[in-house]
Chain A
Amino acid sequence: MRSLRTRVGLLLLATSMIAASGAAFAEQVTLNFLTAEKDETVAPVIAGFEKLHPDIKVVHTTVPFDSMNATIEARVGGQDSSIDVFLVDSPRVPAMANRGYLMNLNEFRDAADKVSNDVAMGVVSWKGDMYALPLWTSTQLMYYNKDLLDKAGIPYPGAKEEDRLTYDQVVDLAKKAQAAGAKFGFLPEQIDRYYQLQPLFESIGGGSGLTGPDNLTPDITNPKWIEAAEFYSSLFKDGIAPRGVPNDQMSSVFTSGDVAFYIGGPWQFRPFNAAEGLKYGVAPVPYFKGGKPVVPTDSWAVGISPYAAHPDEAKKFVEYMSINPEGALLSVANNPIPPTNEEAYKTYIDGIAALNPDVGPAAKEIMTYELAKNSVSRPRSIGYVAFEEIMNRAFSDIRNGADVTTTLQQAQDQLNSTLARIQ
C-alpha cells in the first residue's frame, strides 16, 4: 500500500519535473560560450546580455590558454554542436576559416566597420570575407623602475611620441643602470615569442618574416632580420636580460625591483601597482634608429561555430559584445586589455588612467597613439600557427646563445618544408 503511494508520488513528481523543464526549454535558449578566460572576466558581459535577452542563457566554459587549440580542434573540428560561440586568437583566423571552423559573418561588416579601426577589421578577415568580430586588442609600453634610474642618475624617459628612445639608447641606459646596481637592464616580457619580437624586425625594416601572395613564403634570413636578431642575441650575451627565466615568471623580475626597463602590456598595471615598494613609470616602446616605431597588437576576436546549435542567438551575443558599446565595455570590465570598440575604448582608457595617478595620464597618452598609429598585426596566413611555433623555437635558441645566422637559416629551411605542406 505504502510503497504504491510512494511510487505514485514519485511518478507525479517526475512528470511535473519533466513538464517544468520542458516549459523552461521552450522559453529559454542556452548558448555555450568557450574561452580561455576566467569566469570573472566574462561574467559582466554575460550578465549584461542576459538582462537584455531574458530568453537566452549563456553558459561559459573555460579551458586553459595552452589547451584552447586542442579543444577547438577536437570539438569544432568534430562538428560538435555543443559550442556556439568561442574566442579566437586573431592571427589564427585564416587557418581556422580555411578549415571551416568559423561561420561567415559578412552581415556584420558595416556595423563592425563603424566602431573598429582598420587593423582590427583586417585580422578578422580572410580572402575578403569576415569570419569573426573584433573584440579585444593589445599594445605595449616600456615600464621603467624609478628607483633604479634615480640610483644611476638617469632622467625618466618622456611619454610623448617625440620622446621615443631608440633601442641603442635604451641599451646604453640599461648598462648604466646595471653599473649602478640593477641586476638586469632591459627585457621584453614574452621573451621568446613572436608576438613580442615581431616589432624588432618590423621596426628595422626586415618585414614580418612571411611574404608572397598568401604569406606562405618565409623571409627571415635577409640582412635586416639578421641585424635585429643579432641585437636580440646581444641582450642576453651581455647579461642585460636574464637567460632561463620562463615567460610567465618574467614580470616577477620587474616586481622584485631587479630590472630597469621592461616592455610589457597594459595587463601589468594591476600587478605593478600592487607590488609593494615598486615605483615605476611608462614610456613608449623604443624603435631602431633609421627605422619606424612599431608595437605589437591584437588579441582575441569572437567567432561562431558553423555547427552551432543556436546560430541566431549566437549572432545576437557576438553583436552585443563587439558592436554594442555597452557590451564591449562590459567585456573589459574585469579584463586589463583594451576593447576594439572605439566608443568603449574611451571609457576603458579613462579607467586605466585612474588606476594610478602617477602613471595613468602618461599611459593613456601612449596607448592611444600607439593603437592608432603604430600597431602592426601579425602576418595573415593559413600557415601562421606553424610559422609562430617554429619562430618561437628559433628565438629561444638564439636567446640561449645559438649562432644567429645558422639558427635563422635552419628555421628558414624548416619553414620552407612545413609551409609547403600547407599550401
Chain B
Amino acid sequence: MNMSARRSFQMVLIVTFGLLFVFPLYWVCISAFRPEDDIFRYLSPLRIWTFLPNRVTFDNIVTLWMSPFARAIFNSIFVAVATVAGGLVVCAMAAFALAVIEFPGRSLVFTVMIVSFLIPFDAIAVPLYNVMRGFGLQNTYLGLILPGIGNGLTVFLLRQFFLGLPKDLREAGLVDGMGYFQIFWRIYLPLSVPALISAGLIMFIFQWQAYLWPLLIAPRTDLKVAAVAIAQFSSAYDVSFGVIFAGAMFVSLIPMIILVVFQQYFTSSVASTGGKE
C-alpha cells in the first residue's frame, strides 16, 4: 500500500468516527429548530425528516434567549475560567512539590490527593454545603469556584508530567543558585504548556458539567450556571424539549470554540521538551 492510499484510508476512518460521535449532537441541533410536536414524530422508520426538520421554527431559540440564559452562559464561562486560572496555579504548585522536592511525608500527601478525587462529589454535597455556608459563601461566585480549585486529579496529572521531565533540570537550577520557586516558574512551567492545557481541560469540564453543586450553593437567578438554567425548562408538568436542545446546542458550542483554538497548542508543542529520559 503506498503512502497516499494509506493516508486516504486513515482520513476516511477519522471522518467516520467523527461523524459517529457527532451525530447525536446533530440530532440535538436540528431538534432545536423543530416545533415541539415534531421532535419525536420522525424517529422511526427512517426517512428524510428524521435527519432534517420539515418545519423550521426559531421559537425555541427565542424562548431560550428571552430567559436569563445569556447571564447563565456568562456565569458558566466566568466560573470555569476563574477555576482554571486559580486551579492551575494551586495544582501545578502542589504537583511540583510532589514531583520535584524531596521531603518527608511526600507519599502521604500524594495519597491524600488521590483519595480526594475518589470521593464522590455528589455524596458529600450536603456536608460541603454546610462548610461553605459557615464561610458565608452561599449565593456567591466564590462558592461556585472554590470546590473546583483544589483538584486532586489535576495534581495527579501534572505530577505525572513533571516526573517525566529530566531530573537534571532541577539540579542545574539549584547549581545556578535558583530557588525552588524560580525552578518552578522559569523551568518547569514553560516546558509544561501541553500538560497545563490538559489540566485546564479537566477543571473546565468539571465546572462546565457541574449541576448539583451550583444548584445547592447558588440558586439565585443571577448566579445560575448554564446546566442549571437548561434543566429549568423541564418542570413537573411540561418539558420543553425544543428549548432544552437549543440550550444544549449553545452550551456545547462554546467549549467547541475554545477547543478549536487550543488544538493548535496540542499539535505545536511537540518535541519541545527535548531530552527526555
Within the complex, are A and B direct neighbours (CB within 8 Å)? yes
Contact B234 A64 (CB under 8 A): yes
Taking the closest CB of chain A, its distance from the CB of B65, in whole angstroms, is: 15
Distance in Å: Cβ of A92 to nearest Cβ of chain B: 13
List residues of B (124-181) whose CB comes within 8 Å of A's CBs.
125-126, 129-130, 133, 138-139
> Inside 8 A of A274's CB, which chain B residues have their CB?
37
Quick check: A70 and B235 within 8 Å, CB to CB?
no
Complexed CA–CA distance, A267 and B237 (Å)? 6
CB distance from B45 to the nearest CB of A (A): 12
Do the beta carbons of B212 and A70 come within 8 Å of each other?
A: yes
Q: Which of A38, A73, A249 contacts B126 (CB 8 A)?
A: A73
| A38 engages B219 (CB within 8 Å) | no
Query: Given A38-B232, A64-B234, A77-B126 in contact, is the A248-B239 Cβ separation under 8 Å?
Result: yes
Q: How far is the CB of B225 from chain A (nearest CB, A)?
A: 13
Total interface residues in chain B, CB < 8 Å: 28
Known contacts A70-B216, A80-B133, A252-B39; is A65 also within 8 Å of B235 by CB? yes
Q: A71-B215, A71-B216 are in contact. Are A275 and B37 (CB under 8 A)?
A: yes
| A64 x B232 contact (CB < 8 A) | yes
Q: Is the CB of A64 within 8 A of B216?
A: no
CA distance A256 to B241 in the complex (A): 15
For the complex, give the distance between the alpha carbons of A80 and B133 in Å. Answer: 8
Check B236 for interface membership: any CB of A closer than 8 A: yes
Q: Please, what's the 1-or-0 string for A67-79, where 1 marks a CB less than 8 Å from any CB in chain B?
A: 1001101110110
Query: When each residue 32-76 of chain A gets 1 if its CB lies under 8 Å from chain B and 0 otherwise, what string results?
Result: 001011110100000000000000000001111101001101110
Looking at chain A, what size class is its interface with the partner chain? 35 or more
Is B237's CB under 8 angstroms from A265's CB?
A: yes
Contacts of B126 in A (CB 8 A): 70, 73-74, 77-78
Q: Report which of B40, B125, B239 forms a contact with A74, defined as CB distance below 8 A.
A: B125
Cα A265 to Cα B41 with chains together (Å) = 22
Task: Judge whether B215 and A64 touch: CB under 8 Å.
Answer: yes
A367 → B minimal CB distance (Å): 15
Write the chain A residue with the least CB distance to B128.
Answer: A74
Interface check A336, CB cutoff 8 A = yes
**Chain B positions within 8 Å of A77 at CB level:** 126
Which one, A36, A61, A73, A271, contacts B235 given CB within 8 A?
A: A36
Q: Does A118 contact B (CB under 8 A)?
A: no
Q: Are B40 and A256 in contact (CB under 8 A)?
A: yes
Q: Is the CB of A67 within 8 A of B37?
A: no
Q: Which residue of B lies closest to A278 (CB)?
A: B37
User: How close is A255's CB to chain B, nearest CB, in angstroms?
Assistant: 5
Q: Does B92 contact A (CB under 8 A)?
A: no
A267 touches B212 (CB 8 A): no
User: Is B238 among interface residues, defined by CB-CB distance under 8 A?
Assistant: yes
Residue of B nearest to A62 (CB): B232
State whether the Cβ of B221 lies closer than 8 Å to any Cβ in chain A: yes
User: In the complex, A37→B126 CA distance in Å?
Assistant: 23
Known: A78-B126, A78-B130, A256-B37. A63 touches B237 (CB 8 A): no
Chain B residues closer than 8 Å to A337, beta-carbon distance: 237
Asked if A82 CB lies within 8 Å of chain B CBs, one says: yes
A65 to B231, CA, bound (A): 9
From B41, B138, B228, A80 is in contact (CB under 8 Å) with B138
CB neighbours (8 Å) of B37 from chain A are 252, 255-256, 274-276
A379 vs chain B, min Cβ distance (A): 20
Q: Would you call B186 an interface residue if the criterion is a C-beta within 8 Å of the partner chain's C-beta atoms?
A: no
Asked if B220 CB lies within 8 Å of chain A CBs, one says yes
Given A70-B212, A71-B215, A82-B138, A336:B40 Cβ within 8 A: no
**B200-230 contacts to A (CB < 8 Å):** 212, 215-216, 219-221, 228
Q: Which of B88-129 contact A (CB under 8 A)?
A: 125-126, 129
Q: Which residue in chain A gives the minimum CB-CB distance to B42?
A: A256
Distance, CA A251 to CA B138, complexed state (A): 38
Q: Are A249's CB and B138's CB within 8 A?
A: no
Point out the residues of chain B lying under 8 angstroms from A256, CB to CB: 37, 40-41
Which residues in B have their C-beta under 8 angstroms from that of A82?
138-139
Chain A residues with CB under 8 Å of B212's CB are 67, 70
Distance between A140 CB and nearest chain B CB, rounded to angstroms:
12
Contacting pair A61 B219 (CB below 8 A): yes
Closest Cβ of chain A: how far from B55's Cβ, in Å?
9
For the complex with contacts A64-B234, A74-B129, A276-B37, 13 further pairs of A-B residues with Cβ separation under 8 Å are: A38-B232, A39-B221, A62-B221, A64-B232, A65-B235, A67-B231, A70-B126, A75-B216, A80-B133, A249-B239, A252-B37, A267-B238, A274-B37
9 nearest A-B pairs in the assembled complex, by CB-CB distance: A267-B237, A64-B231, A252-B40, A248-B239, A74-B129, A74-B126, A65-B236, A61-B219, A256-B41
B-binding residues in A (CB < 8 A): 34, 36-39, 41, 61-65, 67, 70-71, 73-75, 77-78, 80, 82, 248-249, 252-253, 255-256, 265, 267, 271, 274-276, 336-337
Q: Which residues of B contact A (CB under 8 A)?
A: 36-37, 39-41, 125-126, 129-130, 133, 138-139, 212, 215-216, 219-221, 228, 231-232, 234-239, 241
A-B contact pairs, 11 of them (CB 8 A): A37-B235, A64-B234, A64-B235, A65-B234, A65-B236, A70-B216, A82-B138, A249-B40, A252-B40, A253-B40, A256-B41
